Each structure stands twice: as structure tokens, then as C-alpha cells.
Structure 1
Amino acid sequence: MTRTRFPRPPAHRSPARFAALSTALFTASIAALLAMAPPPAQAQSAPSPLASFTRTLNAAISGYNREHLNGVSPEACAAACLADARKSWCVSFDYYKASQQCDLSDKRAADVGGLKTDYAGNPYDHYALIPGPGVPNPIVGPYGRRHVLVIGIDGLRGDALFCAGCATTPALSQLAAVGAFHGNVLAGGSQSTYSGPGWGTLFTGYWADQHGVTGNDASLPLRKPHVFDRIKLAYPTATIAVVGDWANITGNLKPVGADFVVANAAKNSQQATDAVKGWLSWTNPPTAIFYYLHNVDIHAASYDPYNAYYQSKIAGEDAQIQQVLDALAARPTYAQEEWLIVVVSDHGGTGSGHGGQSAGERDAALVMTNRYRNPTKPAYCQGDLTGTPLPQTGALTPHVLDFLGLVNDTAGSKHPACGSH
């Protein structure tokens, strides 16, 4: 094989000089490339917290503020609303432009009948948090993601439903027709028939001597876990929501791990309904919702099932429930989901009050179904269950735990006709 002979470098190109020249050329080339390159990208700043809000000029929902801040910019108000300490409740704020103040609120415009836009001088702008898609429900059964909607009707007697001459309740009647009904859940007995003990028992599956809420004192903490907290313990990414106007419901009786808590105005059921409809509009609604309705607890006239005033309050809350059921069934993915809807009450009543141990005061209600406008789902529970005694400890918590496949170690037991499927 013939080798190619390369000429030897001239004597004046010594190896050292050649290396130096090569280094110089390399350095010059890199410098030229750097000169041609675009300038380095600037570090991207974090998005403004205002990006999470929609702004309505010259408007406010003044009068519904929960926290007032002074000397702040709109960005600072938005950041405060989104902060961990407030994210469970803050959904909007009004900004007072002239004095750099803002009012943080747990209400949206839809919750309070719309924005007020006729303030003299237009001093406010309203910022509403853009609802997120929600967190996907981690509880999946053979018939889709499993959710729980608990509807609490304060003061509803079980014998005031589905009887000749009783209130007309198309929404509750539809639920009972495709599910189950118990007309005499036993409240009271070992505890008073006040609301605090009743809701405490429903939420925990224990009587008041164990759960600790022996009266309506809002400083009494639950000493047993709330059923929604049991869900959180088993499924940490599950989200839970509570809405109610009674301070105890959003205070000492609420789940410790509640993700969304809305306190509506006193006896304003439409605000509570709007909050639930908002949650149901999310792509991923909360895993469990408690929706509290207060108007049936009249403390006036009579809790008699045939009293016209009492009936009117029951019918009014039924109309609210229908709005929520319509919003639920309108979900695009509803057919691929399984919702256990449970309607419960904390006590009944007699005359114009409750708290004692009369039959009317101890008579609470239960309606339950997983098949509302979803008839392909096997029934979790079916028919009139009233013939089998059911204490209040068994009305809510054991059924929710059973439906979600969680162990029930409470003092209550589910109705024997109901069960996992």
C-alpha cells in the first residue's frame, strides 16, 4: 500500500508556534460564534396572582367581606386570597381603588344575587377567582368514580314526607322512588334533640356522650372523626366541601380537612344551592359534599306534618334540592359516575320547638339513592325501610363508609337492607 507523504512544516513553523496559532484561531472562532448567538433568555418571572381572577370594573359585592386588608395592591389582595391560610374559603375580593384597600370574601356574585354596579363615583373593582377544574376523585368503583352528596335538612320530621296531605316534594319523591326511605330514624334518646348533638351523631356514628357535642355550644369540638375526615384519611387526595348558614356547621361540626367551606347568609338557601351548583360544574367536583338547608327548622307555628307553614318550608327546600339534582344530572360525565345521595335530618319537632324526647322530636328522616337519573347502576338500597328500627348513629356515617368501601368501626350500623355492590 502506498502511503501518502505529507510535507514537513517549514522550519519557521515550530510545533510550539503551530500550537499557539491553533489555540488563537479556536479562541477567535468561539468569540465569533458567541457574538452571533442571541442574548441569553431572561429568567421567567412567576405569573401574577391576578391571572387567577377575572376583573369586573366598577362593581362590588360589598357587605359580604370576611377579611379587610389595608395598604395593598390588587396583586397583594389576589396573593392573600390564594394563600394557604385562606384558600379554603376565599373566592373573590372587592378592591377600593382610591385608598388601596380590599375586602376578601367567601361569596361569589352568583351567591348574593349579582354585583352592585351603582356606587357613586365607581370606587370599586371586583375580582372573582376563576374556578379550577378540581382534583380528580381517587375513589373509583366498578360503575365509575364514587361521590357522596349529603343533603342535611334541619328539623325535618320523617313522618312529614310521602304521606297523604303532607307537603308536595317532587325532588325528594324522585330520590325515594329510585332508592330507599326511612320515615322514623330515631334521634335523641341518650341525648337531647337539639341540632348540635344530632348533626354530631350523624357525622360520626356515635352518640353525644362519645362525640362530645352535647349541645349547640359552638365551642364544643367533635371528639370522634367526621365521616368526611375518614374519607380523607383513606384517600388523601379526596376533596370535601361544606356549605351552611349555621355557624356550627361551618365551625365546630365541620370536617377538619375540609377543602371548601362556604358560610351562606342566614336562612338563604339559594346561596347554599348556588355554592353546590358551582362545585358540580367543575370537571372534577369534590369527592364528598355536605349541603345544609335550614328553613324547615321553623321554631314557630308547628312542626306538625299537616301544618301549612311547615309544609311550605319543606316544599321550598325541596325546590332548592331540585336545582342541585338538575345540576348534578347535567354533568357531561354523570353517566360514568356513581353518586350516593343521602338526605338526612338532625331531629323532628313538636309544637314550635325541639330538644325533648317526644315522638315528634325524635322522628328524623332518611332518603338515600345511588340511581338518580342513572338507572343502569345496581341499587345500593331500595324501598321503604321504616319497618326496621334505625337509630341515628346508623343513618349516615355507616352507609357512606360502606358505599365507599371503607371499614365502619363506629357505634352505628347500616340498615341491613343496604349494602355494597
Structure 2
Amino acid sequence: MTLTLGVCASGADALRSSAPSGLPASTNALSPPAAACTNASRLAGWSNFRLAMTTIAVPASETAPGQVSTEVSQGAGGVLLFGSQAPANLGSLLATLRSHVPGHLGLLVMTDEEGGGVQRMANLVGSLPWAHTMGATWSAAQIQQAVHNVAVKMAAAGVDMDLAPVADVDGRAVVPSATNPDGLRSFGGNTSVVARDTVAYMNGLRSGGVIPVIKHFPGLGDASYNTDFGPAHTLAWSTEQTVGLPPFKAAIAAGAPAIMTSNASVPGLSTNPGSISPTLITYELKGKLGFHGLILTDSLTAKAISAAGWSVSGAAVQALRSGADMILFGPVTNTQAETTAIASRIVSATNSGQLSRARLIDAAGAVLAVRHVNLCT
């Protein structure tokens, strides 16, 4: 609905009758102006459940994305595709899924298409080498062009967001493992090279019609462990600021639309996993670095989250309170039940005041903004 300020009919008649002779009533200085319509003013009219669902990206198999049509019809803001061999008819499957979106306001369909061993749909869009290989042997222009070519095909297949590039600075040229989350996923151990190539990869995605997500803030290079498998910490914050942050700063300066946080703690800054740390997200990323795009969590089903004592739904509330806008979680036994639990926990937290409604509206607004959705048109 369009929110406007006005007066009742009898009051308006009274104002018109008192207007100076010869002047149209519309010029009367006493007439209150109409309030400008904004996404925030429209979202203020949404239920807490609808707002909560907008902040959630639900996991789905790329071979059967229709399995989450119920969640999408309830307003889920995104779908995260998993798999290794995308079906030839993925585009039509996703078009059908999008037909379930309430109000046809758009749906973020995302996947991990990084290159090397982390590619979900290379059979449809073409293959990229490991980021480490690109960083060591390709120019920035070559990276941008190759990624652009892949992105065009991703967009044609209905995938409009890529959880890439990895902006972590890590010189360990090994296959990622439980003890090393990056390795070959990183453009290398030189901060300047990683910053350059992160921006090139990001620009290739954008020019091809896909929204890039820069990860994993503030940098997982040389992290103590892989957060998917257990607790981990980054380098000390004093080191992280000079080694890990520059690629993220470069991406922000170049117009990065979205950033994913890591689930590692940061010695000297925060003992909480990054995705649920207000110090990391609100104070550093939003405050000091001035980032105002979409902020996504890393997977809240990661062992680093549960090891810190959080359920997925509890961590989701804490992530939103900390400044994150979109909740990600990995494949679970019952996606619908998990999604309902997360949304219900967010609604309950909002109703009780644990999570401010203004923060929830802001998060939902960030999800719509990255898709350029205008609720006032």
C-alpha cells in the first residue's frame, strides 16, 4: 500500500473554504504533503513472518529445485543450489520455481561457481581453473573475460548470484581440506594480487549479469581450521588488517554489491564466529569500511557455529542482530522444517524485542535492493 498523509473530508473542505479567493486549494500552505514512498515504508506493512522469510536462502538440489517451492511461495528471499552436474533444463526449472514468488518480486538463485574443484554447473556454463592458477598465470583482463563468459551462461540458466570470488589471501597451494579452507581457492599469498584478481573476477560476474558475493570477510587465509568441520580462528586482527582486509577494501571501492562473512573468530577482535559478531559486521564492515550492500552469513549449519553453542535458528537471530541481512544454511534432512524453525525464531525474537523490527526491515530491504526491486512501482 502507498502510505500518504492526509486529512478527513470535512477537514479538507474546511481548508478549501478558508483558502484566499482566487487561489486553487492545492496551493494552500496548510495542506500536508504526501509522504514519499520507499521500500522501507512498504516493508513496514509486511508481517514479521514475511520479513523473516525474505532474509532466508534455502538450500536445494540443482537437479530438483522445485522441492523448495513451498518455501519460495512463503517468501524465501533466496535459493542456494547444491550439486555437481546441473540439468540441461535448469533454466526452465528455475523459471517455474520463480513463478511461486509472492508478488513476483524476484528471487536470488545462487550457487558456488568459483573454479577448480568448486564448481556446481560447469557442464552448462564452462569450466574455470582454480583461483590459485588464475592468480599465478592469468592477467586481470583474462580473469575478467573468462568469468564474464561463464556468468552470461549462468544468467541464461536462471542463476543470478555467485558465492564468489574468494578474496582470502592464502599462499598454500593445496586442495582445500578440513585443516585448510582455502588453499587453491585463493588467488595466492600476495595481498596485492588477490585484491586485483578479486576485483577482476567480480567485474566479470557483474558484466555477465550475475551478482558477485565477495567472501569470506575479513579473510580466511591461513585460518587455523575449516569452519565447516569445527571451530577456527583467523590470523590476529593486527595482521588481518594489513594482509586480509585489502582485497575486501578494493572490492568495496569498486562497488561490490554483496559480501559473505566467515564463521571463524578473529583473535584480538571477536571471540564469536564472524557471521554472528556485531563487532565484525556492524562496527568494522559497515562502520569503518562503509559497506552498505547485502551481507550474507556463511553456512549456519557449519560445525563452528554449533561448537560455539548455537542452534541454526538461534544463530540466525544473532546474525541479524549483528548486522547480517541474509541467512545461509547447508543441506539438511528436512529443509522445510529447518526453514520454518528459522523464520519462527526470527518472528519470536522480533515480537519479544530481542531483534528490533527496524533491523529486520533493514535486512529484508537489503535483499530486495541487491535485486533492484522497487516496491513503489
Same-fold call, TM cutoff 0.5: no
> TM-score, normalised to structure 2's length?
0.30
- Between structures 1 and 2, the one with greater helix share: 2
> TM-score, normalised to structure 1's length?
0.27
- Between structures 1 and 2, the one with greater strand share: 1
Using CA pairs under 8 Å that are at least 6 residues apart, name the structure with larger relative contact order, 1 or 2: 1
